[in-house]
Amino acid sequence: MTGNKPPPEEPRGSKRISFYAVSASETKEGRDNESSYYESLGRFVQMFAEAEAVVAQTLWAYAGTKPEVSKIIFAGTQTDHAATYIKTIAKAVNASADHQADLEDVFQQFGVIRGARNDILHYGATGIAEGRAMVSNAWKAKAEPTVFPISALALSDMTEDCRKIILHLGYGHLGRPLPKSDAGKILLVNVLKGPWRYKHPTRPPSKTKKWKSAHAHKGDPKPPRQP
């Protein structure tokens, strides 16, 4: 007699063990990762807003307009446009070479941070609890997507760079009085002369792009299909 045998009966009183995946956000390490990330994100967002305010004040100062007039003339001016206006006005009024070089350096870094900030706030991040947070617009990108890693440390670096930008513009271009104590002056000089902390990671070219650059000749076979 043939046929499938019924499964053996489980011993009476035995318990079936079920296995299920635990989300990283439900573990202590995952909760710590999320807490550290979101705290750093909040500090960065606040400091970036303060930097934006100082950029606006710097534009008003270079334009030579009173605050009540500047609020009307420059209403709605984005910070990237404000940076361009400031550098253009500085050149037009023959600001010193040191001042113009400082503005170029400051706004180059501010542009890097502003771009990262926009992507972080618009697209959010995944993998935070796992400790490998990534920002990506792959879900909506029509061409090569924007993808870069982000972390609590990177956010802290951007926060400190925003603080440094505020000091550059405040003391170098808005004429704020220097600290009265020698220790304060030394600290200020060290910050102003120090390097920028945040380095935006660049995405390496895809395998297809590398292949094309190495075989850019007529008659070459087509690049291999991506797995």
CB 99 within 8 A of CB 173: yes
| Residue carrying structure tokens 């850019």 | 216
Identify the H or E element spanning 223. Answer: none
Instruction: Give the separation between CA 107 and CA 78, rounded to whole angstroms.
Output: 13
Q: Which residues contact 93 (CB under 8 A, 6 or more apart)?
A: 62
What token pair was written down for 183?
A: 């220790």
Per-residue pLDDT at 212 = 44
pLDDT in tens, 176-198: 999 999 999 999 999 999 999 99
Per-residue pLDDT at 15 = 60
Q: Where would I find the beta strands (DSSP E) of the chain?
A: 134-136, 147-149
Q: How far is CA 135 from CA 45, 128, 197, 216, in A?
A: 16, 10, 19, 32
CB 151 within 8 A of CB 37: yes
Please check the confidence at residue 221 and state whether its pLDDT lies above 50: no
